[in-house]
Amino acid sequence: MRTNVNLADDAREFAEIYAHANGLTLGDAITDLIRREKQAGNTPKEPIQFERSKSGFPLLPRTGRRITTEMVLAALNDDTE
């Protein structure tokens, strides 16, 4: 079904990143996110605020974990093997 909706900029940006990361269209990504939230049954009290890098790139909320160069190289090696 085709529908027009107005999304907040941060919600649209998150959906676009999610769609790109999962190889989905924007509509399929939004549908998937809504269905996942419905199954989870719990909604956060406040919306998640994404930080931005100095260049303006959106960053995921801090969890205390850092991704190191070694972790990235190991992941790249796993994909190529």
pLDDT 10s digits, 21-66: 899 999 999 999 999 888 777 666 676 677 788 888 877 777 767 7
Classify residue 75: in a domain, yes or no. Answer: yes
Q: How many domains does the chain have?
A: 1
**13: containing domain:** 9-80
Classify residue 52: in a domain, yes or no. Answer: yes
Distances, alpha carbon 28 to alpha carbons 18, 24, 35, 59, in Å: 10, 6, 11, 23
Look up the pTM and report it: 0.50
Classify residue 2: in a domain, yes or no. Answer: no
Report the pLDDT value the prediction gives residue 69, as an integer from 0 to 100.
Answer: 86
Strand-pair category, 51-52 with 58-59? antiparallel
- Does residue 20 have a pLDDT over 80? yes
Do 22 and 30 contact (CB within 8 A), yes or no?
Answer: no
